[in-house]
Structure 1
Protein backbone atom coordinates (compact mmCIF):
# COMPACT_ATOMS: atom_id res chain seq x y z
CA UNK A 1 0.00 0.00 0.00
CA UNK A 2 1.40 3.38 -0.95
CA UNK A 3 0.65 6.75 0.54
CA UNK A 4 -0.29 7.81 -2.97
CA UNK A 5 -3.57 5.95 -2.63
CA UNK A 6 -6.38 8.43 -2.13
CA UNK A 7 -9.24 7.96 0.28
CA UNK A 8 -11.63 7.53 -2.64
CA UNK A 9 -9.42 4.90 -4.27
CA UNK A 10 -9.16 2.98 -0.99
CA UNK A 11 -12.93 3.03 -0.49
CA UNK A 12 -13.53 1.89 -4.08
CA UNK A 13 -11.08 -0.97 -3.65
CA UNK A 14 -12.72 -1.96 -0.37
CA UNK A 15 -16.12 -1.98 -2.09
CA UNK A 16 -14.71 -4.16 -4.86
CA UNK A 17 -13.32 -6.63 -2.35
CA UNK A 18 -16.61 -6.64 -0.44
CA UNK A 19 -18.64 -7.32 -3.61
CA UNK A 20 -16.30 -10.19 -4.46
CA UNK A 21 -16.67 -11.64 -0.97
CA UNK A 22 -20.46 -11.29 -1.09
CA UNK A 23 -20.74 -13.08 -4.41
CA UNK A 24 -18.40 -15.91 -3.45
CA UNK A 25 -16.13 -15.18 -6.42
CA UNK A 26 -13.06 -15.17 -4.18
CA UNK A 27 -11.08 -18.35 -4.14
CA UNK A 28 -10.32 -19.64 -0.65
CA UNK A 29 -6.59 -19.32 -1.40
CA UNK A 30 -7.11 -15.64 -2.27
CA UNK A 31 -9.34 -14.91 0.72
CA UNK A 32 -6.51 -14.29 3.19
CA UNK A 33 -4.73 -11.81 0.94
CA UNK A 34 -8.00 -9.95 0.28
CA UNK A 35 -8.76 -9.72 3.99
CA UNK A 36 -5.23 -8.45 4.67
CA UNK A 37 -5.54 -5.88 1.88
CA UNK A 38 -8.88 -4.79 3.33
CA UNK A 39 -7.26 -4.26 6.72
CA UNK A 40 -4.51 -2.13 5.11
CA UNK A 41 -7.09 -0.05 3.26
CA UNK A 42 -9.15 0.45 6.42
CA UNK A 43 -6.02 1.62 8.29
CA UNK A 44 -5.23 4.00 5.44
CA UNK A 45 -8.76 5.43 5.47
CA UNK A 46 -8.68 5.90 9.25
CA UNK A 47 -5.32 7.67 9.00
CA UNK A 48 -6.56 9.97 6.26
CA UNK A 49 -9.69 10.78 8.26
CA UNK A 50 -7.62 11.57 11.38
CA UNK A 51 -5.30 13.78 9.32
CA UNK A 52 -8.24 15.62 7.79
CA UNK A 53 -9.84 16.08 11.21
CA UNK A 54 -6.59 17.48 12.65
CA UNK A 55 -6.18 19.85 9.72
CA UNK A 56 -9.76 21.09 10.08
CA UNK A 57 -9.30 21.61 13.83
CA UNK A 58 -6.14 23.66 13.16
CA UNK A 59 -8.06 25.83 10.69
CA UNK A 60 -10.76 26.53 13.27
CA UNK A 61 -8.19 27.17 16.01
CA UNK A 62 -6.44 29.67 13.73
CA UNK A 63 -9.75 31.38 12.99
CA UNK A 64 -10.53 31.63 16.70
CA UNK A 65 -7.06 33.00 17.41
CA UNK A 66 -7.53 35.62 14.69
CA UNK A 67 -10.90 36.58 16.18
CA UNK A 68 -9.28 36.98 19.61
CA UNK A 69 -6.53 39.13 18.11
CA UNK A 70 -9.13 41.27 16.36
CA UNK A 71 -10.92 41.89 19.66
CA UNK A 72 -7.72 42.53 21.65
CA UNK A 73 -8.67 44.55 24.76
CA UNK A 74 -5.36 46.43 24.59
CA UNK A 75 -6.38 48.03 21.32
CA UNK A 76 -8.19 51.31 21.78
CA UNK A 77 -11.85 50.86 21.18
CA UNK A 78 -13.42 53.02 18.55
CA UNK A 79 -15.26 55.88 20.20
CA UNK A 80 -18.98 55.49 20.35
CA UNK A 81 -21.24 58.42 19.74
CA UNK A 82 -23.94 58.67 22.39
CA UNK A 83 -27.51 58.61 21.22
CA UNK A 84 -29.21 62.01 21.32
CA UNK A 85 -31.44 62.68 24.30
CA UNK A 86 -35.14 62.33 23.53
CA UNK A 87 -36.91 65.55 22.71
CA UNK A 88 -39.73 66.29 25.12
CA UNK A 89 -42.62 68.40 23.95
CA UNK A 90 -42.98 71.77 25.63
CA UNK A 91 -46.04 72.32 27.69
CA UNK A 92 -48.74 74.18 25.85
CA UNK A 93 -49.06 77.31 28.09
CA UNK A 94 -49.97 79.85 25.43
CA UNK A 95 -53.30 81.53 24.96
CA UNK A 96 -55.23 81.21 21.75
CA UNK A 97 -54.03 83.81 19.30
CA UNK A 98 -50.59 84.01 20.93
CA UNK A 99 -47.42 82.67 19.39
CA UNK A 100 -46.02 79.68 21.25
CA UNK A 101 -42.67 81.35 22.04
Structure 2
Protein backbone atom coordinates (compact mmCIF):
# COMPACT_ATOMS: atom_id res chain seq x y z
CA UNK A 1 0.00 0.00 0.00
CA UNK A 2 1.31 3.42 -0.97
CA UNK A 3 2.08 5.87 1.84
CA UNK A 4 0.59 9.31 1.16
CA UNK A 5 1.45 12.59 2.81
CA UNK A 6 -1.61 14.09 4.52
CA UNK A 7 -3.26 16.71 2.30
CA UNK A 8 -3.22 20.20 3.77
CA UNK A 9 -5.89 22.48 2.34
CA UNK A 10 -4.16 25.56 3.75
CA UNK A 11 -0.80 24.63 2.22
CA UNK A 12 -2.45 23.92 -1.13
CA UNK A 13 -4.20 27.29 -1.10
CA UNK A 14 -0.93 29.03 -0.27
CA UNK A 15 0.77 27.26 -3.17
CA UNK A 16 -2.09 28.21 -5.53
CA UNK A 17 -1.62 31.85 -4.51
CA UNK A 18 2.12 31.55 -5.20
CA UNK A 19 1.43 30.07 -8.63
CA UNK A 20 -1.04 32.85 -9.46
CA UNK A 21 1.58 35.40 -8.51
CA UNK A 22 4.10 33.68 -10.76
CA UNK A 23 1.61 33.49 -13.64
CA UNK A 24 0.97 37.22 -13.37
CA UNK A 25 4.62 37.89 -14.17
CA UNK A 26 5.33 38.25 -17.86
CA UNK A 27 8.77 36.64 -17.79
CA UNK A 28 7.68 32.98 -17.87
CA UNK A 29 8.32 30.70 -20.81
CA UNK A 30 5.52 28.62 -22.28
CA UNK A 31 6.94 25.39 -20.84
CA UNK A 32 7.10 26.84 -17.34
CA UNK A 33 3.58 28.25 -17.71
CA UNK A 34 2.27 24.82 -18.69
CA UNK A 35 3.86 23.21 -15.64
CA UNK A 36 2.50 25.88 -13.28
CA UNK A 37 -1.02 25.69 -14.73
CA UNK A 38 -1.02 21.89 -14.45
CA UNK A 39 0.13 22.06 -10.82
CA UNK A 40 -2.49 24.68 -9.98
CA UNK A 41 -5.20 22.62 -11.68
CA UNK A 42 -4.28 19.56 -9.62
CA UNK A 43 -4.24 21.59 -6.41
CA UNK A 44 -7.65 23.13 -7.17
CA UNK A 45 -9.14 19.68 -7.84
CA UNK A 46 -7.69 18.37 -4.57
CA UNK A 47 -9.04 21.37 -2.65
CA UNK A 48 -12.51 20.91 -4.13
CA UNK A 49 -12.48 17.24 -3.13
CA UNK A 50 -11.30 18.13 0.37
CA UNK A 51 -14.18 20.60 0.71
CA UNK A 52 -16.71 17.98 -0.48
CA UNK A 53 -15.28 15.40 1.92
CA UNK A 54 -15.41 17.87 4.81
CA UNK A 55 -18.99 18.80 3.97
CA UNK A 56 -19.95 15.10 3.94
CA UNK A 57 -18.24 14.52 7.29
CA UNK A 58 -20.04 17.45 8.88
CA UNK A 59 -23.40 16.40 7.43
CA UNK A 60 -22.95 12.85 8.73
CA UNK A 61 -21.99 14.14 12.15
CA UNK A 62 -25.24 16.08 12.43
CA UNK A 63 -27.31 13.17 11.09
CA UNK A 64 -26.09 10.92 13.90
CA UNK A 65 -27.57 13.13 16.62
Larger Rg: 1
TM-score range with shorter-chain normalisation? Answer: 0.7 to 0.9
How many residue pairs get matched? 62
Dislocated runs of 4+, deviation >3 Å: none
* Structure 1: stretches of 5+ with no match in the other structure: 64-101
* Structure 2: stretches of 5+ with no match in the other structure: none
Pairing partner for 1:4 from 3, 6, 22 = 6
Give the CA RMSD over aligned residues: 1.4
Does 2:32 align with 1:30?
yes
Select the structure that is richer in helix: 2
Work out which structure has the larger RCO, using CA pairs closer than 8 Å and 6 or more positions apart in sequence.
2
The TM-score with structure 2 as length reference comes to 0.84
